[in-house]
Structure 1
Amino acid sequence: METHEIAESAAVSAWLSAATVHPAASADLWQENPHIPRRLLCGVTFDIVLADRQLIETAYQLLAQYEQPLGPALTFVNLRSAAVLVPPGTTVRWNGLVAASQWSERLPRPACLGTGHAILVPALAPQPTAGHVHWLISPDNEQGIGGAPLLTSPVPLARCLAEARALHTAALRSPLSRVVSVVKAVLPSSERA
Protein backbone atom coordinates (compact mmCIF):
# COMPACT_ATOMS: atom_id res chain seq x y z
CA MET A 1 0.00 0.00 0.00
CA GLU A 2 1.35 3.41 -0.90
CA THR A 3 2.19 6.06 1.64
CA HIS A 4 0.30 9.28 1.05
CA GLU A 5 1.68 12.64 2.13
CA ILE A 6 -0.34 15.84 1.94
CA ALA A 7 0.25 19.44 2.83
CA GLU A 8 -1.17 20.19 6.25
CA SER A 9 -4.33 22.26 6.16
CA ALA A 10 -5.41 24.54 9.00
CA ALA A 11 -8.35 22.20 9.74
CA VAL A 12 -6.14 19.10 10.04
CA SER A 13 -3.59 21.02 12.11
CA ALA A 14 -6.36 22.16 14.48
CA TRP A 15 -7.68 18.59 14.72
CA LEU A 16 -4.22 17.20 15.49
CA SER A 17 -3.40 19.94 18.00
CA ALA A 18 -6.69 19.31 19.84
CA ALA A 19 -5.15 15.98 20.87
CA THR A 20 -2.24 17.67 22.69
CA VAL A 21 -1.90 19.08 26.19
CA HIS A 22 -1.47 22.64 24.82
CA PRO A 23 -3.35 22.90 21.50
CA ALA A 24 -2.54 26.55 20.67
CA ALA A 25 1.17 26.22 21.46
CA SER A 26 1.34 22.95 19.49
CA ALA A 27 -0.30 24.49 16.42
CA ASP A 28 2.13 27.45 16.57
CA LEU A 29 5.15 25.11 16.90
CA TRP A 30 4.01 22.96 13.98
CA GLN A 31 3.42 26.03 11.83
CA GLU A 32 7.01 27.16 12.49
CA ASN A 33 8.43 23.69 11.86
CA PRO A 34 6.03 21.53 9.81
CA HIS A 35 8.47 18.59 9.62
CA ILE A 36 8.59 17.64 13.31
CA PRO A 37 6.67 14.62 14.63
CA ARG A 38 3.78 15.14 17.03
CA ARG A 39 2.94 13.43 20.33
CA LEU A 40 -0.84 13.09 20.45
CA LEU A 41 -3.08 11.95 23.28
CA CYS A 42 -5.46 9.11 22.51
CA GLY A 43 -9.10 9.36 23.58
CA VAL A 44 -9.47 13.03 22.64
CA THR A 45 -10.03 13.14 18.88
CA PHE A 46 -9.30 9.47 18.20
CA ASP A 47 -8.47 6.09 19.74
CA ILE A 48 -5.97 3.75 18.08
CA VAL A 49 -6.15 0.10 17.09
CA LEU A 50 -2.74 -1.58 17.19
CA ALA A 51 -2.10 -4.79 15.26
CA ASP A 52 0.46 -6.63 13.16
CA ARG A 53 1.48 -4.44 10.21
CA GLN A 54 0.63 -7.11 7.62
CA LEU A 55 -2.83 -7.54 9.13
CA ILE A 56 -3.55 -3.82 9.00
CA GLU A 57 -2.23 -3.48 5.45
CA THR A 58 -4.37 -6.45 4.33
CA ALA A 59 -7.39 -5.16 6.29
CA TYR A 60 -7.03 -1.78 4.54
CA GLN A 61 -6.91 -3.53 1.16
CA LEU A 62 -10.09 -5.40 2.11
CA LEU A 63 -11.78 -2.22 3.36
CA ALA A 64 -10.97 -0.55 0.03
CA GLN A 65 -12.27 -3.60 -1.85
CA TYR A 66 -15.53 -3.41 0.15
CA GLU A 67 -15.69 0.34 -0.55
CA GLN A 68 -15.42 1.31 3.11
CA PRO A 69 -13.90 4.66 4.10
CA LEU A 70 -10.20 4.51 4.97
CA GLY A 71 -9.07 6.83 7.74
CA PRO A 72 -5.55 7.65 8.90
CA ALA A 73 -3.20 4.78 9.71
CA LEU A 74 0.47 4.57 10.72
CA THR A 75 3.26 2.04 10.30
CA PHE A 76 6.23 1.76 12.64
CA VAL A 77 9.56 1.31 10.85
CA ASN A 78 11.36 -0.82 13.45
CA LEU A 79 8.33 -2.79 14.62
CA ARG A 80 6.02 -5.32 13.00
CA SER A 81 3.00 -3.29 14.05
CA ALA A 82 0.81 -0.50 12.76
CA ALA A 83 -1.95 1.69 14.17
CA VAL A 84 -5.32 2.78 12.82
CA LEU A 85 -6.98 5.95 14.08
CA VAL A 86 -10.60 5.19 15.00
CA PRO A 87 -13.31 7.34 16.62
CA PRO A 88 -12.83 8.20 20.30
CA GLY A 89 -14.70 5.78 22.56
CA THR A 90 -13.90 2.73 20.42
CA THR A 91 -11.83 1.31 23.30
CA VAL A 92 -14.99 0.69 25.32
CA ARG A 93 -16.50 -1.65 22.73
CA TRP A 94 -13.41 -3.02 20.97
CA ASN A 95 -13.19 -6.30 22.91
CA GLY A 96 -16.79 -7.06 21.97
CA LEU A 97 -16.06 -6.39 18.30
CA VAL A 98 -13.17 -8.86 18.16
CA ALA A 99 -14.47 -11.40 20.71
CA ALA A 100 -15.98 -13.66 18.08
CA SER A 101 -12.63 -14.15 16.35
CA GLN A 102 -10.03 -16.47 17.79
CA TRP A 103 -6.51 -15.11 17.56
CA SER A 104 -3.48 -17.38 17.52
CA GLU A 105 -0.27 -16.50 19.34
CA ARG A 106 1.46 -16.12 15.98
CA LEU A 107 -0.74 -13.12 15.19
CA PRO A 108 -1.68 -11.44 18.49
CA ARG A 109 -5.15 -9.99 18.94
CA PRO A 110 -5.48 -6.32 17.92
CA ALA A 111 -5.61 -3.94 20.87
CA CYS A 112 -7.45 -0.64 21.13
CA LEU A 113 -5.97 2.19 23.19
CA GLY A 114 -7.78 5.31 24.31
CA THR A 115 -7.61 7.76 27.20
CA GLY A 116 -4.35 7.49 29.15
CA HIS A 117 -2.25 6.59 26.11
CA ALA A 118 -0.34 8.68 23.58
CA ILE A 119 1.13 8.07 20.15
CA LEU A 120 3.89 9.73 18.18
CA VAL A 121 2.82 10.58 14.64
CA PRO A 122 4.93 12.03 11.84
CA ALA A 123 4.30 15.41 10.30
CA LEU A 124 2.06 15.30 7.26
CA ALA A 125 4.98 16.54 5.17
CA PRO A 126 7.90 14.76 6.88
CA GLN A 127 11.48 14.98 5.72
CA PRO A 128 12.23 11.97 3.47
CA THR A 129 14.58 10.20 5.89
CA ALA A 130 12.95 11.28 9.14
CA GLY A 131 11.38 9.20 11.85
CA HIS A 132 10.49 5.71 12.89
CA VAL A 133 6.81 6.09 12.08
CA HIS A 134 5.21 6.78 8.70
CA TRP A 135 1.69 7.45 7.51
CA LEU A 136 0.11 4.51 5.71
CA ILE A 137 -2.75 6.93 5.04
CA SER A 138 -2.48 10.46 6.39
CA PRO A 139 -5.36 12.59 7.75
CA ASP A 140 -7.27 14.31 4.96
CA ASN A 141 -9.74 17.10 5.65
CA GLU A 142 -11.15 16.88 2.11
CA GLN A 143 -12.96 13.70 3.18
CA GLY A 144 -13.60 15.00 6.68
CA ILE A 145 -16.62 16.21 8.55
CA GLY A 146 -16.59 19.60 10.28
CA GLY A 147 -12.82 20.02 9.93
CA ALA A 148 -12.02 16.57 11.36
CA PRO A 149 -10.70 13.87 9.03
CA LEU A 150 -12.83 10.83 8.43
CA LEU A 151 -11.73 7.98 10.72
CA THR A 152 -11.92 4.27 9.99
CA SER A 153 -15.11 2.74 11.36
CA PRO A 154 -14.33 0.13 14.04
CA VAL A 155 -16.99 -2.42 13.00
CA PRO A 156 -15.77 -3.01 9.43
CA LEU A 157 -12.17 -2.69 10.65
CA ALA A 158 -12.66 -5.52 13.17
CA ARG A 159 -14.28 -7.70 10.51
CA CYS A 160 -11.53 -7.00 7.97
CA LEU A 161 -8.81 -7.65 10.55
CA ALA A 162 -10.40 -11.04 11.27
CA GLU A 163 -10.60 -11.76 7.55
CA ALA A 164 -6.96 -10.66 7.11
CA ARG A 165 -5.97 -12.97 9.98
CA ALA A 166 -7.75 -15.88 8.28
CA LEU A 167 -5.95 -15.13 5.00
CA HIS A 168 -2.54 -14.94 6.72
CA THR A 169 -3.18 -18.07 8.78
CA ALA A 170 -4.10 -20.00 5.63
CA ALA A 171 -0.93 -18.76 3.90
CA LEU A 172 1.22 -19.87 6.86
CA ARG A 173 -0.11 -23.43 6.94
CA SER A 174 2.01 -26.16 5.39
CA PRO A 175 1.06 -27.64 2.00
CA LEU A 176 0.24 -30.99 3.69
CA SER A 177 -2.12 -29.41 6.21
CA ARG A 178 -3.86 -27.55 3.36
CA VAL A 179 -4.37 -30.87 1.52
CA VAL A 180 -5.79 -32.48 4.68
CA SER A 181 -8.16 -29.50 5.13
CA VAL A 182 -9.38 -29.79 1.54
CA VAL A 183 -9.95 -33.55 1.88
CA LYS A 184 -11.87 -33.04 5.14
CA ALA A 185 -13.97 -30.36 3.51
CA VAL A 186 -15.11 -32.64 0.66
CA LEU A 187 -15.65 -35.82 2.70
CA PRO A 188 -19.09 -36.30 4.24
CA SER A 189 -19.01 -35.73 7.99
CA SER A 190 -19.49 -39.47 8.74
CA GLU A 191 -16.23 -40.29 6.90
CA ARG A 192 -14.13 -37.66 8.68
CA ALA A 193 -11.98 -38.92 11.51
Structure 2
Amino acid sequence: MSDWLPETPRNLAFPTTAYVTLAGADWLASASPHPEGMHVLWAERPEAPTVLPCGAAFDVINAPALFGRRMVDRLWSSGPGSGPVATHRGRILLFAAPGTAQRLPSLLAWEEWGSAVPPLLCHGSGDAVTVPPLHPRPHAAGGAGDETPAGSRWLVAPDVRAPWLPGPDILLWACVRAARGGLGADRETPRAHHESAVQGMDPVLTGG
Protein backbone atom coordinates (compact mmCIF):
# COMPACT_ATOMS: atom_id res chain seq x y z
CA MET A 1 0.00 0.00 0.00
CA SER A 2 3.02 2.29 0.38
CA ASP A 3 3.19 2.42 -3.42
CA TRP A 4 0.11 4.66 -3.47
CA LEU A 5 -0.51 8.23 -2.49
CA PRO A 6 -2.56 8.66 0.70
CA GLU A 7 -5.55 10.07 -1.19
CA THR A 8 -5.72 7.01 -3.46
CA PRO A 9 -8.12 4.41 -2.03
CA ARG A 10 -7.20 0.75 -1.97
CA ASN A 11 -9.40 -1.98 -0.55
CA LEU A 12 -8.06 -5.42 0.15
CA ALA A 13 -11.27 -7.28 -0.63
CA PHE A 14 -12.75 -7.30 -4.13
CA PRO A 15 -16.23 -5.76 -3.84
CA THR A 16 -19.26 -7.65 -5.09
CA THR A 17 -21.97 -5.02 -4.67
CA ALA A 18 -24.68 -6.07 -7.11
CA TYR A 19 -27.13 -3.21 -6.68
CA VAL A 20 -26.98 0.57 -6.61
CA THR A 21 -27.62 2.35 -3.31
CA LEU A 22 -29.68 5.54 -3.04
CA ALA A 23 -26.48 7.56 -2.81
CA GLY A 24 -25.12 5.76 -5.87
CA ALA A 25 -28.34 6.50 -7.74
CA ASP A 26 -27.89 10.20 -6.92
CA TRP A 27 -24.43 10.07 -8.47
CA LEU A 28 -25.66 8.32 -11.62
CA ALA A 29 -28.54 10.78 -11.94
CA SER A 30 -26.08 13.69 -11.72
CA ALA A 31 -24.76 12.67 -15.14
CA SER A 32 -28.11 13.56 -16.68
CA PRO A 33 -29.22 17.12 -17.45
CA HIS A 34 -32.50 16.15 -15.75
CA PRO A 35 -31.57 14.20 -12.60
CA GLU A 36 -35.07 14.46 -11.12
CA GLY A 37 -36.47 12.81 -14.22
CA MET A 38 -34.00 9.95 -13.83
CA HIS A 39 -35.23 9.29 -10.30
CA VAL A 40 -38.82 9.27 -11.54
CA LEU A 41 -37.89 6.81 -14.29
CA TRP A 42 -36.06 4.53 -11.86
CA ALA A 43 -38.98 4.63 -9.43
CA GLU A 44 -41.30 3.48 -12.19
CA ARG A 45 -38.93 0.96 -13.79
CA PRO A 46 -36.17 0.05 -11.32
CA GLU A 47 -35.30 -3.12 -13.23
CA ALA A 48 -34.78 -1.46 -16.64
CA PRO A 49 -31.39 -0.38 -18.03
CA THR A 50 -30.77 3.34 -18.51
CA VAL A 51 -28.90 5.47 -21.05
CA LEU A 52 -26.72 8.18 -19.47
CA PRO A 53 -24.40 10.78 -21.01
CA CYS A 54 -20.66 10.67 -20.38
CA GLY A 55 -18.16 13.46 -19.91
CA ALA A 56 -19.54 15.29 -16.85
CA ALA A 57 -19.86 12.88 -13.91
CA PHE A 58 -17.80 10.13 -15.51
CA ASP A 59 -16.24 8.67 -18.65
CA VAL A 60 -16.55 4.98 -19.50
CA ILE A 61 -13.89 2.67 -20.88
CA ASN A 62 -15.62 -0.19 -22.69
CA ALA A 63 -13.48 -3.34 -22.99
CA PRO A 64 -13.99 -6.89 -24.28
CA ALA A 65 -15.24 -9.11 -21.46
CA LEU A 66 -12.14 -11.23 -20.83
CA PHE A 67 -9.67 -8.37 -21.15
CA GLY A 68 -11.87 -6.11 -19.05
CA ARG A 69 -12.05 -8.67 -16.26
CA ARG A 70 -8.27 -8.95 -16.35
CA MET A 71 -8.02 -5.18 -15.99
CA VAL A 72 -10.37 -5.20 -13.00
CA ASP A 73 -8.46 -8.10 -11.43
CA ARG A 74 -5.19 -6.16 -11.74
CA LEU A 75 -6.75 -3.01 -10.31
CA TRP A 76 -7.91 -4.87 -7.20
CA SER A 77 -5.00 -7.28 -6.73
CA SER A 78 -2.09 -4.87 -7.31
CA GLY A 79 -3.59 -1.43 -7.84
CA PRO A 80 -5.83 1.07 -6.07
CA GLY A 81 -9.12 -0.70 -6.75
CA SER A 82 -11.66 0.53 -9.28
CA GLY A 83 -14.59 2.84 -9.65
CA PRO A 84 -17.97 1.33 -10.53
CA VAL A 85 -17.77 -1.53 -13.01
CA ALA A 86 -20.60 -3.07 -15.03
CA THR A 87 -21.04 -5.71 -17.67
CA HIS A 88 -23.37 -5.13 -20.62
CA ARG A 89 -23.85 -7.22 -23.76
CA GLY A 90 -20.61 -9.11 -23.35
CA ARG A 91 -18.48 -6.02 -22.59
CA ILE A 92 -16.97 -4.61 -19.40
CA LEU A 93 -17.71 -0.97 -18.59
CA LEU A 94 -15.13 0.69 -16.35
CA PHE A 95 -16.29 4.06 -15.02
CA ALA A 96 -13.41 6.53 -15.06
CA ALA A 97 -12.67 10.16 -14.26
CA PRO A 98 -13.94 12.68 -16.84
CA GLY A 99 -11.31 13.29 -19.51
CA THR A 100 -10.01 9.70 -19.41
CA ALA A 101 -11.71 8.77 -22.69
CA GLN A 102 -9.79 11.49 -24.49
CA ARG A 103 -6.36 10.82 -22.97
CA LEU A 104 -6.18 7.02 -22.70
CA PRO A 105 -5.95 6.27 -26.46
CA SER A 106 -3.01 8.66 -26.88
CA LEU A 107 -1.24 7.14 -23.87
CA LEU A 108 -1.71 3.66 -25.30
CA ALA A 109 -0.27 4.82 -28.62
CA TRP A 110 2.99 5.75 -26.84
CA GLU A 111 3.07 2.62 -24.69
CA GLU A 112 5.35 -0.25 -25.71
CA TRP A 113 2.64 -2.80 -24.94
CA GLY A 114 -0.18 -0.70 -26.38
CA SER A 115 -0.41 -2.83 -29.53
CA ALA A 116 -1.21 -5.88 -27.35
CA VAL A 117 -4.30 -4.17 -25.92
CA PRO A 118 -7.51 -5.07 -27.81
CA PRO A 119 -9.53 -2.17 -29.23
CA LEU A 120 -11.22 -0.23 -26.45
CA LEU A 121 -14.31 1.95 -26.81
CA CYS A 122 -13.66 5.17 -24.93
CA HIS A 123 -16.87 7.06 -24.15
CA GLY A 124 -16.44 10.68 -23.14
CA SER A 125 -18.03 14.05 -23.77
CA GLY A 126 -20.77 13.78 -26.40
CA ASP A 127 -21.21 10.03 -25.90
CA ALA A 128 -23.77 8.03 -23.95
CA VAL A 129 -23.72 4.55 -22.47
CA THR A 130 -26.33 2.06 -21.33
CA VAL A 131 -25.96 1.21 -17.66
CA PRO A 132 -27.55 -1.82 -15.96
CA PRO A 133 -30.68 -1.60 -13.81
CA LEU A 134 -30.26 -0.27 -10.30
CA HIS A 135 -31.36 -3.62 -8.90
CA PRO A 136 -30.84 -7.04 -10.53
CA ARG A 137 -34.05 -8.68 -11.69
CA PRO A 138 -34.81 -11.97 -9.91
CA HIS A 139 -34.65 -14.93 -12.26
CA ALA A 140 -38.21 -16.15 -12.68
CA ALA A 141 -39.04 -19.59 -13.98
CA GLY A 142 -39.13 -19.49 -17.77
CA GLY A 143 -37.75 -15.91 -17.87
CA ALA A 144 -40.81 -14.55 -19.68
CA GLY A 145 -41.08 -10.78 -19.81
CA ASP A 146 -37.52 -10.08 -18.67
CA GLU A 147 -36.49 -6.85 -20.41
CA THR A 148 -32.97 -6.78 -18.97
CA PRO A 149 -30.36 -7.53 -21.67
CA ALA A 150 -28.39 -10.71 -21.07
CA GLY A 151 -25.34 -10.10 -18.93
CA SER A 152 -26.33 -6.54 -18.00
CA ARG A 153 -25.44 -6.16 -14.34
CA TRP A 154 -23.21 -4.31 -11.92
CA LEU A 155 -19.96 -5.96 -10.87
CA VAL A 156 -19.01 -3.02 -8.63
CA ALA A 157 -22.13 -0.92 -8.17
CA PRO A 158 -21.93 2.78 -7.19
CA ASP A 159 -22.79 3.17 -3.52
CA VAL A 160 -21.75 6.75 -2.65
CA ARG A 161 -22.52 10.19 -4.07
CA ALA A 162 -18.93 10.85 -5.11
CA PRO A 163 -17.18 7.55 -5.91
CA TRP A 164 -13.45 7.54 -6.55
CA LEU A 165 -12.78 7.11 -10.28
CA PRO A 166 -9.49 5.98 -11.86
CA GLY A 167 -7.83 8.34 -14.31
CA PRO A 168 -6.02 7.60 -17.60
CA ASP A 169 -2.65 6.82 -15.97
CA ILE A 170 -4.11 4.15 -13.72
CA LEU A 171 -6.16 2.59 -16.51
CA LEU A 172 -3.10 2.62 -18.78
CA TRP A 173 -1.28 0.65 -16.09
CA ALA A 174 -4.20 -1.80 -15.86
CA CYS A 175 -4.26 -2.22 -19.66
CA VAL A 176 -0.55 -3.01 -19.78
CA ARG A 177 -0.77 -5.45 -16.85
CA ALA A 178 -3.72 -7.23 -18.47
CA ALA A 179 -1.91 -7.40 -21.82
CA ARG A 180 1.23 -8.84 -20.26
CA GLY A 181 -0.86 -11.53 -18.64
CA GLY A 182 1.01 -13.86 -16.37
CA LEU A 183 4.51 -12.57 -17.19
CA GLY A 184 6.79 -11.77 -14.28
CA ALA A 185 6.67 -8.06 -15.13
CA ASP A 186 2.95 -8.16 -14.38
CA ARG A 187 3.85 -7.77 -10.69
CA GLU A 188 5.15 -4.24 -11.29
CA THR A 189 3.24 -1.64 -9.29
CA PRO A 190 1.47 1.28 -11.00
CA ARG A 191 3.89 3.82 -9.53
CA ALA A 192 6.93 1.77 -10.60
CA HIS A 193 5.51 1.53 -14.12
CA HIS A 194 4.97 5.30 -14.26
CA GLU A 195 8.50 6.02 -13.00
CA SER A 196 10.14 3.60 -15.43
CA ALA A 197 8.14 5.07 -18.31
CA VAL A 198 9.27 8.59 -17.41
CA GLN A 199 12.90 7.47 -17.11
CA GLY A 200 12.74 5.87 -20.54
CA MET A 201 11.37 8.94 -22.30
CA ASP A 202 13.41 11.15 -24.59
CA PRO A 203 15.25 13.79 -22.48
CA VAL A 204 13.99 16.47 -24.85
CA LEU A 205 10.40 15.51 -24.01
CA THR A 206 11.02 15.34 -20.26
CA GLY A 207 13.08 18.51 -20.10
CA GLY A 208 16.25 16.59 -19.10
Residue type of the alignment partner of 2:162: A
- CA root-mean-square deviation: 2.5
Q: CA separation in 1, counterparts of 2:98 and 2:165?
A: 10
**3-state SS, counterpart of residue 103 of structure 1:** helix
User: Which structure 2 residues correspond to residues 106-125 of structure 1 after superposition, within 5 A?
Assistant: 108-125=118-135
What whole-Å deviation, never above 9, does each CA across 1:35-79 have from its counterpart, x for those lacking one?
2211110112111112221111111111111241311112124x3
Deviations 1:101-144 (A, max 9, x none): 3324xx52323220121111112312134333221211121xxx
In the aligned structure 2, how far is the partner of 1:44 from the partner of 1:7? 19
- Matching residue within 162, 181, 184 for 1:148: 162
Which residue of 2 is the match for residue 160 of structure 1?
Answer: 174
Counterpart secondary structure, 2:32: coil
* 1:73 partner letter: V
Query: Which residue does 1:54 correspond to in 2?
Result: 66
Kept in 2, the 8 Å contact 1:20–1:39? The answer is: no
Q: Residue 46 of structure 2 aligns to which amino acid in structure 1?
A: P
TM-score, normalisation: structure 1: 0.72
For the structure 1 residues 76 and 2, does the alpha-carbon distance in structure 2 shift closer, same or farther, using more than 3 Å as the test?
farther
1:87 and 2:101 correspond: no
Distance 1:47 1:96 in 2: 16
Which residue is 2:18 aligned to? 5
2:149 alignment counterpart: 131
Structure 1: tracts of 5 or more residues without a match: 142-146, 170-193
- The answer as to whether partners of 1:59 and 1:164 remain within 8 angstroms in 2 is yes
What's the TM-score, normalizing by structure 2? 0.67
Unaligned runs of 5+ in 2: 1-13, 140-147, 184-208
Q: Deviations over 1:126-174 (max 9, x none)?
A: 2134333221211121xxxxx22222333122111111112179xxxxx
Work out which of the two has the higher radius of gyration on C-alpha atoms and give 1 or 2. Answer: 1
User: 1:135 and 1:162 mapped to 2: Cα distance?
Assistant: 24
**Where has structure 1 moved over 4 Å in runs of 4 or more?**
none
CA gap of 1:72–1:40, structure 2 versus 1, over 3 A, is same
Give distance in 2, aligned partners of 1:167 and 1:71.
22
Q: How many Å separate the matches in 2 of 1:19 and 1:67?
A: 26
Distance change (3 Å), C-alpha of 1:128 and 1:162: farther
2:61 matches 1:42? no
